[in-house]
Amino acid sequence: MNADFDLYRPSEEHEALREAIRDLANEQIAPFAAEVDDQARFPQEALDALTAADMHALHIPEEFGGNGADALAAAIVIEEVARVCASSSLIPAVNKLGSLPLMLTGSSALQAKYLTPLAAGEALFSYALSEPEAGSDAASMRTRAVRDGDEWVLNGVKRWITNAGVSQFYTVFATTDPDARSRGISAFVVEASDPGFSVGELEKKLGIKGSPTRELYFDNVRIPADRIIGDEGTGFKLALETLDHTRVTIAAQAVGIAQGALDYAAAYLQERKQFGKAIAEFQGLQFMLADMGMKLEAARQMTYAAAAKSERGDSDLTFFGAAAKCFASDVAMEITTDAVQLLGGYGYSREYPVERMMRDAKITQIYEGTNQVQRIVMARHLLGRG
């Protein structure tokens, strides 16, 4: 699916994809969303449905058995799944995040070995950059990788790793030359079955409870030397380049969450009656709804523009990726909070989905770089210091 992106507008193919994934999400994912959140369990139903429809990792190139879908198609799938269940939308989103480093600079042998089972639905892929003492300052990571003959030996801890424990493959960033700081970081593929690799307990989170978040532990994990992604010392640059592309997926997730909240609130306003008429007739609430819709559409268009730039590899992708993620997530937080307000006491109740959507929206302002960091990225670009 390779559309003309000049106008950042979805093609007929994209709209057909949207219709298909919306039907799938409504029928096979939405019915389990509240239960997944309540039980903080992995959304296996969503994984099964997405895999059966080849939508779990549709960004994988055709040569490895994937769909070869473009960045806008991936964003649409994530958006539509997030509309009903944010946790489930992290299946295609994190599969892209974890595997994109291989697609960008991995050897052909490494790509074939790991992208093929991912495309076939035989594995999930996670991304391991953050550490207990290295969040926004990722260059300060302490996880080490030391060359020992034909192997690398990894030791350290990674934190806040999405889908940890259910993923079979992990893109792991580790320092191979501590004195070189960011220029001494390299990227590797680690398998869940590698001796010395283990995961921690589930984090107890505010939202996206169905997507497991855990620490990763590396205790003398030995991996073959050819599992390095790209050249030694290029890992930090690769990590940032990856995030330039995948921040678009977080923007798409935020748009989807906001759309779900807006849809529910609009329907509620037309059903709920007070003072003898539907509360949708009250101008104050109409103004709130109008502002929600206006901001949501602005976020969607910015996200699609960023997706187009991601597909083309435009030089200003860093700015647009950061801007789309920052704006869309701020909008999602505002819209979901307003949706709770529009439902009044019902909005505060777990019997209605908007409180879950509000909790889920918060993380989009934090992960893949806080929105404060995104503003730094954008400012540096505008000042010519990117």
Rg (CA), the chain: 21
Residue recorded with tokens 């089972």:
117
Residue recorded with tokens 């260059």:
139
Torsion of CA 223, 240, 47, 54, to 10 degrees: -100
CB 255 within 8 A of CB 235: no
Q: How far is CA 144 from the centre of its chain?
A: 26
Question: Which ranges in the chain belong to alpha helices (H)?
Answer: 12-24, 30-39, 44-52, 71-82, 86-105, 108-119, 235-271, 283-312, 317-343, 354-364, 371-382
β-pair partners for 224: 151
Spot the catalytic one: 131, 311, 355, 368: 368
CB 174 within 8 A of CB 227: no
Beta strands in 249-357 (DSSP E): 273-274, 277-278
C-alpha pair distances (Å), 384 with each of 254, 316, 319, 371, 380: 28, 11, 11, 20, 6
Beta strands in the chain (DSSP E): 125-128, 144-148, 151-162, 169-175, 185-191, 197-199, 213-224, 228-229, 273-274, 277-278
Cα separation of 303 and 317, whole Å? 11
What's the N-to-C CA distance of the chain in angstroms?
Answer: 31
- The encoded tokens of residue 70 equal 């473009």
Residues 6+ apart with CB under 8 A from 318: 244, 377, 381, 386
To the nearest 5 percent, what fractions of the chain are helix, strand and coil? Answer: 60, 15, 25
Catalytic (active site) residue 281: no
- DSSP, residue by residue, 97-164: HHHHHHHHH--HHHHHHHHHHHHTTS--EEEE--BTTBSS-GGG---EEEEETTEEEEEEEEEEEETT
Kindly list the catalytic residues: 368
